[in-house]
Amino acid sequence: MTLATEAADISRVNELLARARVALVVADRATDLRTSLVAVREALEITTRLSETLRQIAAAQDPTREAQRREDRFSRPARKPRAG
């Protein structure tokens, strides 16, 4: 990975973190429930993108680790349904 790529990745992660924090502040300060829920949903979407970005960064740094993670994910036995 080049320094420029690493810097761009760090910048992207910082941007996503900042946007998630702003959304959560809006949710916290909202005077009505609808605004608060919309802001929480936005924060969730942003953190999902953040997770994907971090996964891509990790895969770029160590491609064998990403391949192993995928293999482990698909080789696990299915969960049994809960008794309810």
Q: What percent of the chain lies above the pLDDT cut of 90?
A: 50
Is residue 25 assigned to a domain? yes
Residue 31: its pLDDT value, please? 95
* Structural domain count, the chain: 1
Residue 25: its pLDDT value, please? 97
SS (H, E, C) 21-83: HHHHHHHHHCCCHHHHHHHHHHHHHHHHHHHHHHHHHHHHHCHHHHHHHHHHHHHCCCCCCCC
Is residue 14 assigned to a domain? yes
Residue 13: its pLDDT value, please? 92
Q: What is the pTM (predicted TM-score) of this model?
A: 0.67
Kindly give the parts of the chain with pLDDT less than 50.
none
Residue 79: its pLDDT value, please? 67
Write out the residue range of the structural domain in which residue 29 sits.
3-70
Residue 18: its pLDDT value, please? 96
